[in-house]
């Protein structure tokens, strides 16, 4: 307990010194004395809404894997720490979807619920990886829907949910408060903005029945600000083209649509030397870009996104801040070498505030309190979530 409180205090000091310096607020001494007194008496502390808002924006700015950080100041922050009931949380998340949808003009939002209180065993967790995601069903050795969601789909079915069995069934929202049983909530159809995929040249593309949702509302990452861990803080930006076309729809372990498209294009798929995957992937990207544009839904192409990231880097350098980035995530999965980001290198140091990966709460290892993953490359199963996160942030 003492070690945890010491780490919390150290992280609070680090954040508030940066926060006061960036905002020109002078000496943070008085505020830090208030926080120290709260930590000593309660084992945690309460951040003001203004502190929370700026901390969430800093976390986006520090997100090593995000190519869209140029717009970090535009993040709209919803302080929902007063909500504790599953029904209230569900309704707030549905409202988040409506606000972010914005009739297709996607706006970046984050909804922040109360911070975890590990000393009291209190937390709020979303079981979903994204608020809107399609189910995956195993049927006779084949997969209907998204293979990435097969395991979670089974969990939802065990909890009483039944989908229609289609390739694009939207999974329910699963919320767990403290140690209570998780509760399921169907997401209203009117809150889900989807884009039917067509192609500007090939009329047959529309008959394939492909579609994708408009708002990538991430649900299962931990927002860390000043040592506090907001384990329920769903946030969204807007999609980059290749996220949907090249990865979600094109990857062999996802929807794997390239062979289907190649067949329709009458491409020779018997040899890699025919570059059939490249040609099919290009047409899939053209279709997604065309469809989102025709529907009036925000989407950035990968070339523009890469240029925006270079502008972000230049702006940060002008402010005297170094940009840290994961090269493998910043360089888009298509036409990478044609972009400036391909030829740049960044240090991948993880700064805070930031968003951290969390072991899905429905997995067995999460129930056994396996550690929060602060990077995708390691996990220490011998340490508690709080301890591992604190160590990796030191």
Active site residues: 66, 69, 238, 243
The count of residues in the chain is 394
* Structural contact between residues 189 and 169, judged by C-beta atoms closer than 8 angstroms: no
Residues 2 and 47: their CA atoms lie apart, in Å, by: 21
């Amino acid at each position: 307990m003492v070690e945890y409180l010491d780490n919390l205090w150290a992280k609070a000091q680090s954040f508030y010194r940066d926060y006061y310096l960036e905002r020109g607020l002078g000496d943070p001494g008085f505020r830090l004395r208030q926080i120290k007194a709260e930590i000593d008496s309660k084992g945690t502390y309460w951040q003001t809404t203004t502190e929370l808002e700026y901390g969430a924006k800093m976390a986006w700015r520090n997100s090593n894997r995000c190519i869209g950080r140029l717009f970090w100041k535009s993040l709209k922050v919803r302080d929902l720490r007063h909500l504790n009931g599953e029904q209230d949380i569900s309704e707030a998340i549905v409202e988040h979807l409506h606000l972010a949808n914005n009739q297709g003009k996607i706006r970046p939002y984050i909804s922040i619920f109360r911070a975890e209180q590990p000393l009291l065993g209190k937390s709020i967790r979303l079981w979903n990886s994204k608020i809107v995601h399609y189910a995956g069903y195993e049927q006779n050795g084949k997969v209907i829907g998204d293979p990435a969601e097969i395991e979670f789909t089974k969990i939802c079915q065990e909890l009483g949910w039944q989908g229609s069995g289609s390739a694009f069934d939207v999974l329910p929202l699963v919320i767990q408060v403290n140690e209570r049983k998780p509760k399921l909530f169907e997401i209203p159809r009117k809150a889900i903005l989807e884009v039917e995929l067509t192609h500007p040249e090939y009329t047959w593309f529309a008959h394939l029945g492909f579609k994708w949702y408009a708002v990538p509302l991430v649900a299962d990452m931990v927002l860390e600000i000043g040592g506090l861990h907001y384990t329920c803080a769903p946030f969204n930006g807007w999609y980059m083209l290749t996220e949907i076309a090249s990865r979600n729809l094109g990857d062999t372990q996802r929807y794997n649509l390239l062979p289907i498209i190649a067949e329709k294009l009458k491409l020779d798929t018997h040899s890699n030397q025919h570059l059939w995957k490249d040609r099919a992937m290009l047409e899939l990207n053209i279709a997604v870009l065309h469809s989102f544009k025709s529907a009036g839904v925000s989407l950035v192409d990968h070339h523009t996104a890469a240029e925006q990231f270079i502008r972000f880097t230049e702006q940060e350098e002008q402010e005297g801040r170094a940009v840290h980035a994961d090269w493998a995530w910043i360089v888009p999965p298509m036409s990478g070498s044609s972009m400036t980001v391909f030829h740049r290198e960044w240090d991948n140091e993880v700064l805070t505030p930031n968003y951290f990966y969390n072991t899905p709460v429905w997995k067995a290892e999460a129930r056994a309190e396996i550690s929060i993953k602060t990077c995708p490359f390691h996990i220490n199963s011998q340490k508690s979530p709080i301890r591992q996160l604190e160590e990796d942030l030191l």
